[in-house]
Amino acid sequence: MHIRTFRAASLQDALEEIRNQMGTDASVLHTRQVRDGWMGWLGRTYVEVTAGLRGVDDAKTPDDSIPQADAEVPVTVPIRSGYMQAEPTFPGPFEGFREQLIDAGVSPKTALRWLKSTESFTVGLGDSINEPWMDHLQRSIARELRIGGPIRTQPGAKHIVALVGPTGVGKTTTIAKLAAGFRIQERRRVGLVTIDTFRIAAVQQLEAYAEIMDLPMEVVENPSQMQPAIERLGDVDLVLLDTAGRSPSSDARIDQLVELLRMAQPDETHLVMAATSSSSTIQSVLKGFAPAHPTAAILTKLDEATSTAGVLSAITASDDFAGIPLSYLTNGQQVPDDIQVASAEPLLSRLLPGSFVTNQMEAA
């Protein structure tokens, strides 16, 4: 068998080069990611593919003078135009992580991307790997996670922030936590506006919070009332808009929300989602609320999430999605304590069941 090794920027490029130089009868014997540079640092990552082409004499008794293929029996994959590479195998720990990630709701494509990135990272470390494999996986995912930072206000400059999202994710409670944090800790003048008139209890709940914290509050029922309501709040530093929960699949309700936001002209729009949601649910929410042009996302109910792998797979950056920046995380119902500025560690520590680590989250 004639054996050659090809190196390219991507697997598809390597397969194309193999087809051009060895023909369509060649077979893939082995693939791996490699990195150049000193000890793998400051270098580029390549895909290295070893391919073989069986000759007409290969069926006969081999001549000892002719180099043979490795003694181990390789899994050969014929090179055909348009053929996608067979699913690769990883070192022992990685193979187990792939199964766990998929079981936790991560798509096979995303799990493969994360593990290939992790493998590339560990190859660059050479023999100096002393940390658990999970740490390397978490670092690889963290590189795709976007952290946007908290809401920032200036005294005397009215800053309008809207919270949008589906029903049941905790928008009203999150509004109360943010209001308390800015009112008590940041010493800002805060005003509240609710347009959640679909649920009377939601209005009463926010009114109770406003009364306790001595905050002005307005109720808006239609777009024409929005600007006058904001003006009636007076000279506040921060306006927090609480919106009604909407199904991301209801185009009419989303259109109503967009019109209300158009009249409010918020400086920021935060999409509130539950960390307990599946990857497919998060993707549906991101798509459904895209017309509202969210600038950041808040993940709630982190304390109830036994695994965050599915959620992270939906919000992290990939080839076809820029990712959405995270602003805050919440982990309970206590106002104002159970909220913190978003960071990677609380999410990654809950990546998979069994990797759960209890974190004492500081108030924002």
HEC-encoded secondary structure of 121-168: HHHHHHHHCCCCHHHHHHHHHHCCCCECCCCCCECCECEEEEEECCCC
Rounded to whole angstroms, what are the CA distances from 86 to 2, 9, 31, 47?
21, 18, 10, 14
* Residue pointed to by tokens 């009112």: 183
In terms of pLDDT, which residue wins out, 149 or 72? 149
Measured over all CA atoms, what is the biggest interatomic distance in the chain, rounded to whole angstroms?
93
Strand partners, 8: 47
Query: Phi and psi of 85, rounded to 5°?
Result: -55, 145
- Please tell me what DSSP assigns to residue 246: -
3-state DSSP percent of the chain in helix, strand and coil, to 5: 40, 20, 40
State yes or no: pLDDT of 198 exceeds 80. no
Per-residue pLDDT at 137: 86
Of 32-41, 71-80, 203-212, 322-331, where does the model show the most confidence? Answer: 322-331
Per-residue model confidence (pLDDT) at position 363: 34
How many CB atoms within 10 Å of residue 230? 21
Helix then strand count (H, E) for the chain reads: 11, 12
Q: Which amino acid would we find at residue 77? A: V
Q: pLDDT higher for 354 or 69? A: 354
Which pLDDT score, from 0 to 100, does residue 238 have?
97
Supply the pLDDT for residue 300: 96
| Average confidence (pLDDT) over 213-218 | 94
Whole-model pTM over 0.85: no
Residue 126 confidence (pLDDT): 52
Q: Which two tokens stand for residue 105?
A: 């709701």
306 vs 114: CA distance, rounded Å: 20
HSE of 331, CA atoms in CB hemisphere, 13 A: 20
